[in-house]
Amino acid sequence: MSYRIAIGTIDGVEVTEHFGQGKSFQILEIDQQSDEIRLLGSIEVVHSEHCGSGHDENLIQEKIQAFLDWNVIAVIVKQIGPRSERMVTKNGIEVLVFSGKIADGLDKIKKFYKRRIF
């Protein structure tokens, strides 16, 4: 069995994106048995000039819908505001706030999901 996660990153090495302002999210699939990780694609978000701080509710909902379209069950971001987090979790997507190397964040999420049965 496998599961999909989204990671807010610009460079593919570090978790760099704040959820509301995030412009780039990688979609990864993790095999629960082998821990093999596959990059499936990415979501690139275009922020309009009037969006300002990136907290436009429609834009946040568009990101969430994109995650749902990819069957993402969790998102790893550097930071997320309480309103955005509520919107994400209300849609059945778990949030992990993490700053650092993606590989370290993936270790944490794999340990978390090892304890869960799909």
CATH of the domain at 18: 3.30.420.130
74 token code pair: 């969790």
Domain that holds residue 88: 2-114
Average pLDDT over residues 66-88: 96
Residue 113 CA to residue 118 CA, distance in Å, equals 9
Percent of the chain at pLDDT > 90 equals 68
Phi, psi for 46 (deg, rounded to 5): -100, 120
Count: domains in the chain: 1
> Half-sphere exposure of 5 toward its Cβ, with a 13 Å CA cutoff?
26
The per-residue pLDDT for range 9-67, each reduced to its tens digit, is: 999 999 999 998 889 999 999 998 888 999 999 999 876 655 555 467 888 999 999 99
Strands 37-44 and 14-15 come out as unpaired
Q: Are 106 and 13 in contact (CB under 8 A)?
A: no
User: pTM for this one?
Assistant: 0.87
91 token code pair: 């849609």
pLDDT at 108 over 60: yes
User: How high is the pLDDT of residue 12?
Assistant: 93
